[in-house]
Amino acid sequence: MKLLEFLKRERKKSASVAKERLQIIVAHQRGERDQPDYMPMLQQELLEVIRRYVQVDQDAINISLDSDNDCSILELNVTLPRDEQGRPS
């Protein structure tokens, strides 16, 4: 049975793996490209402010700017640590 499954399973072609990886990385690069120049700085400073109160990781903060027709929405997501230990006394 196992052997049959093994034989039936088609190995994923390496080119399609490459394509998937590239689609993700390129989408990410383009997201960064279209954002205003101040975004990395804003993200860094927001992180510093949050860290004054809660110890969070560098990648625990996610910031994005979406624009609709006539307004832009700045979305800020911060993942806080589960326990209280990260909090300064």
Partner 1 sequence: MAKIIVVTSGKGGVGKTTSAAAIATGLALRGNKTVVIDFDVGLRNLDLIMGCERRVVYDLINVIQGEAGLNQALIRDKRTENLHILPASQTRDKEALTPEGVEKVLETLSQEYDFIVCDSPAGIEHGAQLAMYFADEAIVVTNPEVSSVRDSDRILGLLASKTRRAERSEPPVKEHLLITRYDPSRVTSGDMLTLEDVREILAINLVGLIPESEAVLRASNQGVPVVHDMDSDAGKAYADTVSRLLGEEVPLRFHEYQKKGLLSRMFGGGRR
Q: Which residues bind partner 1 (CB under 8 A)?
A: 13-16, 18-19, 21-23, 25-26, 29-30, 33
Query: Residue 65 and residue 87: Cα distance in Å, rounded?
Result: 28
Nearer to partner 1, 14 or 85 (CB): 14
| Residue number with CB closer to partner 1 (8 or 13) | 13
E strand or H helix at 26:
helix 14-34
Q: State the minimum distance, in angstroms, from the CB of residue 64 to partner 1.
A: 18
Name the helix (H) or strand (E) containing 45: helix 39-51
Name the minimum Å distance from CB 18 to partner 1.
5
Give the closest residue to 63 by CA, choosing from 48, 52, 49, 47: 47
Which residue, 29 or 44, has its beta carbon nearer to partner 1? 29
